[in-house]
Amino acid sequence: MIRENDHYQAATGNYDIYTLFVERGLKLLRPGGVFGMILPNKFMQARYGKGLRKLLSDAKAVWKVVNFEDAQVFEEATTYTCLLFLQKAPSSKVLYIPAGEYLKEHADRPNLTEVEALAFPAEPKRLTAAPWVFVSKRESELMDRLAAAGPTLGEIAERLFVGLQTSADQVYILEKKAVLPGKLIKVYSKAQGKEYELESDLLKPVLKGALGIRRYQLDHENRYVLFPYQSIEGRMQLVPEEIFMARYPRAWRYLLDNREALEGRERGKMRHSGWYGYVYPKNLTLFDQPKLLTPSIAKRASFAYDCKGEYYFVGSGGGGGGGYGIILKPTDLSPLYVLGLLNSHLLDFYLKTTSSPFRHGWYAYNKQYIEQLPIRRIDFDNPEEKKVHDDLVALVERMLKLNKRLRETVGREREELERRIERTDREIDELVYRLYGLTEEEIAVVEGHS
Instruction: Render pLDDT for 235-269 as a digit per residue (tens, 0 to 9).
Output: 999 999 999 999 999 999 999 999 999 999 999 99
Residue 250: inside a domain, yes or no?
Answer: yes
Residue 49: inside a domain, yes or no?
Answer: yes
The CA–CA distances, whole Å, from 64 to 44, 67, 112, 120, 276 equal: 13, 10, 14, 10, 52
Residue 60: inside a domain, yes or no?
Answer: yes
pLDDT at residue 6, rounded to an integer: 59
pLDDT at residue 136, rounded to an integer: 80
Give the model's confidence band at 318: pLDDT under 50 very low, under 70 low, under 90 confident, else very high.
Answer: very low
Mean pLDDT, range 364-371, rounded to an integer = 93
pLDDT at residue 450, rounded to an integer: 59
pLDDT at residue 56, rounded to an integer: 92
pLDDT at residue 319, rounded to an integer: 44
pLDDT at residue 448, rounded to an integer: 80
Q: Which of 278, 313, 348 is the last residue of a domain?
A: 313
Who has greater pLDDT, 321 or 148? 148
Instruction: Render pLDDT for 127-154 as a digit per residue (tens, 0 to 9).
Output: 889 888 888 888 888 999 999 999 999 9
pLDDT at residue 111, rounded to an integer: 80
Percent of the chain scored above 70 by pLDDT?
A: 97
Same domain, 126 and 180: no
pLDDT at residue 1, rounded to an integer: 31
Percent of the chain scored above 90 by pLDDT?
A: 69
Answer whether residue 40 shows pLDDT above 80.
yes
Answer whether residue 349 shows pLDDT above 50.
yes
Round to the nearest angstrom and report the end-to-end CA distance of the chain: 50
Answer whether residue 317 shows pLDDT above 60.
no
Mean pLDDT, range 105-119, rounded to an integer = 83
Same domain, 124 and 182: no
Map the chain to HEC letters. CCCHHHCCCCCCCCCCCHHHHHHHHHHHCCCCCEEEEEEEHHHHCCHHHHHHHHHHHHCCCEEEEEECCCCCCCCCCCCCEEEEEEECCCCCCEEEEECHHHHHHCCCCCCHHHHHCCCEEECHHHCCCCCCCCCCHHHHHHHHHHHCCCCEHHHHEEEEEECEECCCHHHHEEEEEEEECCCEEEEEECCCCEEEEEEHHHEEEEECHHHHEECCEECCCCEEEECCEEEECCEEEECCHHHHHHHCHHHHHHHHHCHHHHHCHHHHCCCCCCCCCCCECCCCCCCCCCEEEEECEECCCCCEEECCCCCEEECCCCCCCCEEEEEECCCCCCHHHHHHHHHCHHHHHHHHHHCCEEHHHEEECCHHHHCCCECCCCCCCCHHHHHHHHHHHHHHHHHHHHHHHHHCCCCHHHHHHHHHHHHHHHHHHHHHHHHCCCCHHHHHHHHHHC
Q: Which of 79, 111, 134 is the last residue of a domain?
A: 134
Residue 37: inside a domain, yes or no?
Answer: yes
Same domain, 182 and 51: no
Domain count within the chain = 2
Residue 336: inside a domain, yes or no?
Answer: no
pLDDT at residue 332, rounded to an integer: 94
Mean pLDDT, range 322-335, rounded to an integer = 95
Same domain, 174 and 308: yes
Same domain, 103 and 28: yes
Residue 210: inside a domain, yes or no?
Answer: yes
State residue 382 phi and psi, 5-degree precision: -95, 110
Answer whether residue 387 shows pLDDT above 50.
yes
Instruction: Render pLDDT for 171-211 as a digit per residue (tens, 0 to 9).
Output: 999 999 999 999 999 999 999 999 999 999 999 999 988 88
Residue 198: inside a domain, yes or no?
Answer: yes
Predicted TM-score of the model (pTM): 0.85
pLDDT at residue 380, rounded to an integer: 96
Residue 420: inside a domain, yes or no?
Answer: no
pLDDT at residue 408, rounded to an integer: 85
Same domain, 53 and 107: yes
CATH number of the domain where residue 93 is located: 3.40.50.150
Write down the mean pLDDT value for the chain. 91
Expressed as residue numbers, the domain containing 248 is: 165-288+304-313
pLDDT at residue 5, rounded to an integer: 57
Instruction: Render pLDDT for 1-26 as a digit per residue (tens, 0 to 9).
Output: 334 555 788 888 777 889 899 999 99
Same domain, 123 and 182: no
Same domain, 103 and 235: no
Same domain, 71 and 202: no
